[in-house]
Amino acid sequence: MKVLIFGSGGREHALAWTIAKSGRVTEVVCAPGNGGIAGIARLVPVSLSDLDGMVQVAIAERPDLIVVGPELPLSLGLVDALQALGMRVFGPTKAAAMLESSKSFAKRFLQRHQIPTANYAVCTSAEDVEKAIEFFHAPIVVKADGLAAGKGVIICQSRRAALEAAQGLFSGKLLGSKEQQLVIEEFLLGEEVSFLCLSDGKHVAPLVAAQDHKRVGEGDTGPNTGGMGVYSMDTLLEPEMQEWVMHHIARPAIAGMASEDTPFVGVLYIGLMMTARGPQVLEFNARFGDPETQAILMRLDCETGCHLVDAMEACIDGRLSETEFRWKPGASACVIASSGGYPGSYETGLEITGLEQAAKVKGVQVFHSGTTLAGGKLYTNGGRVLGVTAAAPSLREALDLAYEAMGKIHFDGIYYRHDIGHRALNKSKNER
């Protein structure tokens, strides 16, 4: 098989790394890819905002399977365009991807299908916001309606702050583009869990759960980012709770999309808040999470169970019910190395050293998120640069390995959190 992956981040590096393991796969092509992916796949230049350009790449390559990684190509309708050409594509159509590309669509969908989520209001003007926030207690969550690369959620400590955040989103000051509408939401207390599952439009197959760390600062402080680190472990979601989420959230969501003539085929990422009143849906994503994918795929047992390529093909063919994933017991962790200044302004083009030494740490895989290869050297090319990922029998061991490897890597301004997994480690300490 020849597999073409669209994307350029850590998620796509992890997907390429996993897909390349399959004995059926003879070639992996990635468009546009990054410096790290270049080590395992042939790279083809393309802009992920250029629909026609991506279609032309697929026509030129004629792959047996296409995997669409990021949200932007999905929201542009890349899957629809490629399916119209008779190509086998893993990912949801433009209409199905609205679960991610429009927060207001997702909230109304959740309400229609009685899936548990926070109370909300959809607003199209600052006047709407002023009226709506009277019904919410602080803190209040303000969300951009469209795609915002993980930066469109603002937690406001007062109604005045919520109104100012809304004005910033409507004016374009906060994200650079003007929002036409936004969502005001009740603030939920609890722990966040990322629950990803594959779907063929009817059936659902869960992956292992993970927990992301969105805030840039230690102790979950500072602005939201696309994710500063993540871990996955057996006890993050007990079997009974996983089945509850499948029964009350995942299956109803897939059935709901099918009932509205927009069957969802691909990965449904369910962002959950584990509250006192039970799991609530914070958000849907219509693709693999980043950095969740890095930690999750490190635990996939490709040798004895279903391979990811097989599962993707089963989704396309509507036979996912035949698929069963097997997972390595224990835990995995991914720590993100970011550029100094991220998620604000940052410098790129800085040389990265120490990657060979980091790769020698047993149980570690370094996934590249924002790198470029030039003259045989690797340079930074994004806000999130690397995802240093490790798998081990316990979370403590996985984190120790990831941080040991991280300590060998350097570029000017390198920044990473030193407390990934702190909630789980503190919980296990308290239980002892």
Tens digits of per-residue pLDDT, 286-329? 999 999 999 999 999 987 767 999 999 999 999 999 988 999 99
- Select from 76, 91, 106 the last residue of a domain: 91
Predicted confidence (pLDDT) per residue in 205-220, tens digit: 999 999 999 999 999 9
Query: Could you tell me if 4 and 31 are in contact, meaning their C-beta atoms sit under 8 angstroms apart?
Result: yes
Which CATH number does the domain housing residue 204 bear?
3.30.470.20
pLDDT surpasses 80 at 150: no
Which CATH number does the domain housing residue 422 bear?
3.90.600.10
Considering the domain boundaries, does residue 73 fall inside one? Answer: yes
Q: Are residues 362 and 380 in the same domain?
A: yes
- Counting residues of the chain whose pLDDT is more than 70, the rounded percentage is 98
Considering the domain boundaries, does residue 52 fall inside one? Answer: yes
pLDDT surpasses 80 at 7: yes
Strand partners, 30: 5, 43
pLDDT of residue 207: 97
pLDDT of residue 151: 66
Predicted confidence (pLDDT) per residue in 12-45, tens digit: 999 999 999 999 999 999 999 999 999 999 999 9
Q: Are residues 227 and 262 in the same domain?
A: yes
Q: Are residues 174 and 223 in the same domain?
A: no
- Please state the domain count of the chain: 4
Predicted confidence (pLDDT) per residue in 84-130, tens digit: 999 999 999 999 999 999 999 999 999 999 999 999 999 999 999 99
Q: Are residues 350 and 403 in the same domain?
A: yes
Considering the domain boundaries, does residue 133 fall inside one? Answer: yes
Q: How high does pLDDT run on average in the chain?
A: 95
pLDDT of residue 431: 64
Q: Are residues 161 and 226 in the same domain?
A: no
pLDDT of residue 187: 96
Mean pLDDT of 412-422: 97
Considering the domain boundaries, does residue 315 fall inside one? Answer: yes
Q: Are residues 170 and 64 in the same domain?
A: no
pLDDT surpasses 70 at 418: yes
- Select from 32, 65, 91 the last residue of a domain: 91
Considering the domain boundaries, does residue 97 fall inside one? Answer: no
Q: Are residues 311 and 204 in the same domain?
A: yes
Considering the domain boundaries, does residue 421 fall inside one? Answer: yes
Q: How confident is the model at residue 203 (pLDDT cuts 50, 70, 90)?
A: very high
Q: Are residues 388 and 351 in the same domain?
A: yes
pLDDT of residue 303: 78
Measure the N-to-C terminal CA separation of the chain; round to a whole number of Å. 50
Considering the domain boundaries, does residue 115 fall inside one? Answer: no
Q: Are residues 318 and 385 in the same domain?
A: no
pLDDT surpasses 90 at 364: yes
Q: How confident is the model at residue 430 (pLDDT cuts 50, 70, 90)?
A: low
Task: Please classify residue 62 by burial: count the beta carbons closer than 10 Å to its beta carbon, then call 0-12 exposed, 13-18 middle and 19+ buried.
Answer: exposed
Query: Could you tell me if 27 and 44 are in contact, meaning their C-beta atoms sit under 8 angstroms apart?
Result: no
Mean pLDDT of 233-251: 96
pLDDT of residue 432: 59
- Counting residues of the chain whose pLDDT is more than 90, the rounded percentage is 90
The pTM assigned to this predicted structure is 0.94
Q: Are residues 349 and 288 in the same domain?
A: no
Q: Are residues 271 and 344 in the same domain?
A: no
Q: If DSSP states are collapsed to H, E and C, what string results for 202-241?
A: CCEEECCCEEECCEEECCCEEEECCCCEEEEECCCCCHHH
Q: Are residues 295 and 411 in the same domain?
A: no
- Select from 66, 91, 116 the last residue of a domain: 91
Q: Residue 245 sits in which domain range?
A: 191-322
Considering the domain boundaries, does residue 119 fall inside one? Answer: no
